[in-house]
Structure 1
Amino acid sequence: MILLLAKIIIGIVALLHIYFLRLEMYAWTTKAKKVFRTFPEELFEPTKTLAANQGLYNGFLAAGLIWSLIIQDSQWQVYVGLFFLSCVAVAGIYGAITASKKIFAVQALPALIGIILLFTDLFL
């Protein structure tokens, strides 16, 4: 049951990062303006390439998380999930410290919950 919950969280975190990829790579000068209201509007166009690069990294995180869900070996599934959730958590904590506290709740907290669930499953 705990592992199933962890996998659901991993799926949610992966979907969030696919959304971030789409927003940063393909909708930076349109929809992202509504999402990132504190970012000065005149900076969206000049930072379009930087945002796309950031979106690509979010895509890699999503790919790793999805990979963790389809690995056949249950032990490696947990290890890979822990690695990619840890990457997301670190990025979310860094973002919360340097950019916006909201990033912690949206990015780091779900990853940390997933990590806790995976560790709980490992040690039960």
Structure 2
Amino acid sequence: MLTFPKCPRLFGWLIVTILLLVAIAFLAPQQLPVSLYKLSLVSMAGVVGYWLDRSLFPYARPDALTDYCAVDDIESLEDLKLDEGENPEPILAEFDTRANIVFGLAMLRRAIIVGCAMLALGLGA
């Protein structure tokens, strides 16, 4: 059976972008430098927004929050006195839900900061 190698994420969008650049080059070659300039500005704004988020919230990185919440909560369960035969699963589920909410909010915060940086630079250029 013939198998194809797995394409990287967003590979289809890369192909569409290249096709659009080729179309711009044929239809309006004088606009190609402008398009590349704007693309570089928006890409740079994304990187600046990401590093701005990391600088403003050094201890609230999304990838570190889930590990921190999970480890902190599991360690606190060891100190919890449960009656004999009591099931700790609902407590674990509550801690897991809280960790997921913290993780989700940190990712949302980062997306908003990066998006605003990209929008600000895109509108200002």
TM-score, normalized by the shorter chain, greater than 0.5:
no
The two structures have a TM-score, normalised by structure 1, of: 0.36
Larger Rg, first or second structure (1 or 2) = 2
The two structures have a TM-score, normalised by structure 2, of: 0.36
